[in-house]
């Protein structure tokens, strides 16, 4: 018995394993390798030597991974949810000062109702050194469990928004 004559069984097992792994990872890498393995299987059925089957499978897999997978991923992500989530959703959110916010410490209540530790964002010299309870702020960034905030613009009633004056 020649082991090469049963190479098609090895290819079928590899294809099955790669498809199962793909179903667990959902990244399209193993799907491309499985399709490349189909190329190895087909070339074996046409009588190609085992080393040629491996080369065909490897080359086809690499071509698929580098040229088919990226546009496929791009097409699937095109319809994704554009809404920001987690920390990204907090950036730009308005908040109200609960306890005095300085460059080192403070507490704010976010518009979603959560209370966060906060500190004042670096600002020009004419900006206030602290914000007192009741003032409105905007989250500039999140550093760990601390919201970095800046004074919110005040509505002027005529031309939209103007900057808060230093007091």
Distance CA 87, CA 112 (A): 13
The per-residue pLDDT string of the chain (167 residues; one tens digit each, 9 = 90 and over) reads 576 778 899 999 999 999 999 999 999 999 999 999 999 999 999 989 999 999 999 999 999 999 999 999 988 887 766 676 678 888 999 999 999 999 889 999 999 899 999 999 887 777 778 889 999 999 999 998 899 999 988 765 544 444 444 44
Q: Is residue 35 part of a domain?
A: yes
Q: Is residue 60 domain-shared with residue 108, that is, in the same domain?
A: no
Q: Is residue 167 part of a domain?
A: no
Number of domains comprising the chain: 2
What is the model's pLDDT at position 3?
Answer: 67
What is the model's pLDDT at position 60?
Answer: 97
Q: Is residue 7 domain-shared with residue 73, that is, in the same domain?
A: yes
What is the model's pLDDT at position 152?
Answer: 86
Q: Is residue 137 part of a domain?
A: yes
Q: Is residue 61 domain-shared with residue 92, that is, in the same domain?
A: no
The CATH code of the domain that includes 107 is 2.40.50.140
Last residue of a domain, one of 22, 47, 77: 77
What is the model's pLDDT at position 155?
Answer: 61
Q: Is residue 38 part of a domain?
A: yes
Residue 143 sits at the vertex; the CA angle it makes with 141 and 144, to the nearest 5 degrees, is 140
Q: Is residue 98 domain-shared with residue 154, that is, in the same domain?
A: yes
What is the model's pLDDT at position 72?
Answer: 92
Domain boundaries, position 12:
3-77
Q: Is residue 13 part of a domain?
A: yes
The pTM for the full model equals: 0.52
Q: Is residue 70 part of a domain?
A: yes
Q: DSSP for 23-69, please give it.
A: HHH-SSHHHHHHHHHHHHHHHHHTT--HHHHHHHHHHHHHHHHHHTH
What is the model's pLDDT at position 156?
Answer: 54
Phi, psi of 64 (to 5 degrees): -65, -40
Q: Is residue 70 domain-shared with residue 93, that is, in the same domain?
A: no
Neighbours of 147 (CB within 10 A): 29
């Amino acid at each position: 018995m020649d082991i090469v004559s049963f190479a098609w069984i090895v290819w079928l097992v590899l294809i099955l394993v790669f498809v199962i792994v793909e179903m667990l990872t959902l990244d399209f890498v193993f799907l491309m390798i499985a399709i490349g393995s189909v190329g190895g299987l087909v070339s074996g059925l046409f009588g190609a030597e085992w080393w040629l089957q491996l080369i065909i499978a490897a080359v086809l897999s690499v071509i698929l991974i580098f040229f088919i997978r990226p546009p496929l991923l791009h097409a699937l992500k095109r319809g994704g949810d554009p809404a920001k989530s987690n920390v990204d959703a907090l950036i730009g959110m308005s908040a109200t000062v609960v306890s005095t916010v300085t460059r080192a410490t403070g507490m704010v209540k976010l518009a979603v109702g959560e209370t966060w530790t906060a500190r004042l964002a670096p600002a020009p010299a004419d900006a206030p050194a602290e914000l007192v309870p009741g003032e409105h702020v905007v989250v500039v960034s999140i550093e760990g469990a601390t919201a970095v905030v800046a004074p919110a613009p005040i509505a002027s009633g005529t031309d939209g928004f103007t900057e808060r004056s230093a007091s």
